[in-house]
Amino acid sequence: SRTQVGIVGAGPAGLVLAKLLALAGVDSVVLEARDRAYVEARVRAGVLEAPTVELLRGMGVAGRLDREGMPHTGISLRFAEAPGAPAADHRIDFADLVGTGITVYGQQEVVKDLLADRVDDAGLPVEFGVSGVALHDVDTDAPSVTYADADGAEHVLRCDVIAGCDGFHGVSRPLVAPDIAERVYPFSWLGVLAKAAPTTDELVYAHHDDGFALYSMRSPEVTRLYVQVPNDTDPADWSDARIWDALHTRLACEGFTMNEGEFLEKPSVTPMRSMVASPMRRGRLFLAGDAAHIVPPTGAKGMNLAIADVRVLADAVVRALRDGDTGGLDSYSDTCLRRVWRAEHFSWFMTSMLHRFDPATEGGDAFGVGLQRSQLRYSVTSRAAATSLAENYVGLPHGAV
Ligand code: FAD
Ligand code: DHB
């Protein structure tokens, strides 16, 4: 079979790209390794930047997001003024500082909305459960994708352009063979979803001597929580009681109480890394989202960056296929990498400022801790520093970087 754009991966990048192309009258086929129930249930990110929300609204897929998403106009950084002192909250007021905010809405809800729109309403193709995906002839103007469908039947999909939206472990990046800039952090996050009403209106990022903790939410009934753990942590070593104990200790603060509740899924451990692949292109193959770059989750940027990439890609592909102008495709990688590196820096900054590093290493020795403390204080006492944090967190306008 034949389509204009072959899209590998039905995550936020692949599905937003498919919708933007459909709106411009460009055909695509989305190939996804997992089944629909799996991608709709996969709990991951939860923070949508302001430009992401505006884009989804402009695409006409934000009905439920506008009803159920939780608009937030700030976050709190929670830390003690000195080792052993009681912690206090320091609010970063996005509305005051930069005139906008974020929306808390689960990534899998975005994915559900996009699949309902494409598959159920528009009847456009997403092939779930494919295997053996291989990309061919990407250096020519007639690339193709071969794969086996869920029943094992082999297919060849010929296209004009291939979008590698297949995440960190996909098949696209190895084929591009880009240069890799990378940093692996000496800690991971253990994440849980609890049937417990959140007790704050906003997210709390806590810096504590035992390690970082994050208090987030998904709805008025569900809390999303993370604690810093060593790399290679086996979640089986963390009983529910141990997780709650760590959360209570690290989030302790005058006037703060936390509701406990049953965990709605098994605790997961996410390693923390930064990675940038460049260029994000080889011939007719274009990488987008986690296939091209990874950020540590502390800046809440992963899904937002994936969506920003495919906005640029959709415009470039439409220009090329409709007007025969390949300028957008030629500048795609450079354009995306400017925003990618801004998000990489911000995510590294938040990660370095908020986590506890091993005292035997540079990050965690007396000098390292002194720098962290100074940066925390500066971030919440200087309007200039708070504004910089706020503008990055809510997301710079698309095209502004
Ligand atoms: P993905 O969402 O990974 O989508 C890629 C899709 O491609 C998947 O559906 C996959 O099944 C499919 N695929 C892979 N290989 C193939 C193949 N060969 N053929 C066909 N399909 C294929 N960000 C945060 O901000 N906060 C968080 O708490 C957070 N937690 C995370 C936890 C985990 C375990 C992971 C992996 C990521 C997390 N992220 C988080 C990052 C954020 O979720 C990602 O940045 C975001 O999912 C990127 O979207 P994407 O569409 O590029 O990739
Ligand atoms: C969530 C995840 C993040 O990585 C983050 O920085 C903030 C919130 C969340 O899952 O709610």
> What is the per-residue burial (b if ≥16 Cβ within 10 Å, else e) of 137-163?
ebeeeebbbebeeeeeeeeebebbbbb
Mean pLDDT over 35-40 rounds to 97
**395 close to ligand 1 (CB < 6 Angstrom):** no
Can 205 be counted among the known catalytic residues?
Answer: yes
pLDDT in tens, 326-385: 999 999 999 999 999 999 999 999 999 999 999 999 999 999 999 999 999 999 999 999
**136 close to ligand 1 (CB < 6 Angstrom):** no
- pLDDT surpassing 90 at residue 169: yes
Q: Supply the pLDDT for residue 83.
A: 79
Q: Which of 105, 205, 215, 226 is catalytic?
A: 205
Counted domains in the chain = 1
Q: Does residue 205 fall inside a structural domain?
A: no
CA-closest candidate to residue 305, choices 291, 315, 321, 319: 291
Q: Supply the pLDDT for residue 84.
A: 82
CA-closest candidate to residue 202, choices 101, 111, 328, 75: 75
CA angle 163, 165, 170 (to 5 degrees): 115
Q: Cα separation of 61 and 111, whole Å? A: 10
**303 close to ligand 2 (CB < 6 Angstrom):** no
Q: What range defines the domain where residue 29 resides?
A: 5-63+106-181+272-350
pLDDT in tens, 84-105: 899 999 999 999 999 999 999 9
Q: Supply the pLDDT for residue 381.
A: 98
- pLDDT surpassing 90 at residue 294: yes
Distance of CA 145 to the CA centre of its chain: 26
Provide the token pair at 395.
Answer: 């997301």
Q: Cα separation of 356 and 375, whole Å? A: 14
Q: Does residue 264 fall inside a structural domain?
A: no
Measured distance between the N- and C-terminal CA atoms of the chain, rounded to whole angstroms: 39
**106 close to ligand 2 (CB < 6 Angstrom):** no
Q: Does residue 249 fall inside a structural domain?
A: no
Distance of CA 27 to the CA centre of its chain: 26
Kindly indicate the confidence band of residue 59, based on its pLDDT and cuts at 50, 70 and 90.
very high
Q: Does residue 40 fall inside a structural domain?
A: yes
Can 279 be counted among the known catalytic residues?
Answer: no
User: Mean pLDDT score of the chain, rounded to an integer?
Assistant: 97
Round the CA-based radius of gyration of the chain to a whole number and report it. Answer: 21
Q: Does residue 98 fall inside a structural domain?
A: no
Q: Supply the pLDDT for residue 255.
A: 93
The one-letter amino acid code at 139 reads D
Q: The complex's ipTM?
A: 0.96
Contact between residue 210 and residue 249 where contact means Cβ atoms under 8 Å apart: yes
Q: Does residue 117 fall inside a structural domain?
A: yes
Mutate to test the pocket of ligand 1, among 44, 265, 304 (most ligand atoms within 8 A of CB): 44
Can 185 be counted among the known catalytic residues?
Answer: no
- Please tell me the residue having the least CA distance from ligand 2 atom 5: 300
Q: Which of 72, 208, 293, 355 is catalytic?
A: 72
**300 close to ligand 1 (CB < 6 Angstrom):** yes
Query: CB 182: neighbour CB atoms within 10 A?
Result: 10
Q: Cα separation of 350 and 99, whole Å? A: 21
Q: Does residue 136 fall inside a structural domain?
A: yes
- Please tell me the residue having the least CA distance from ligand 2 atom 1: 46
Can 195 be counted among the known catalytic residues?
Answer: no
Can 112 be counted among the known catalytic residues?
Answer: no
Q: Which of 207, 301, 332, 355 is catalytic?
A: 301
CA of 371: how far to CAs of 349, 362, 374, in Å? 12, 11, 5
**33 close to ligand 1 (CB < 6 Angstrom):** yes
- pLDDT surpassing 90 at residue 212: yes
Q: Supply the pLDDT for residue 390.
A: 98
**213: Cβ–Cβ under 8 A, 6 or more apart, which residues?**
206, 225, 226, 227, 228, 246, 247, 250, 251
More confidently predicted of 401 and 49: 49
3-class SS of residue 123: coil
CATH number of the domain residue 55 falls in: 3.50.50.60
The one-letter amino acid code at 61 reads V
Q: Supply the pLDDT for residue 82.
A: 85
Q: Does residue 163 fall inside a structural domain?
A: yes
pLDDT in tens, 119-151: 999 999 999 999 999 999 999 999 999 999 999
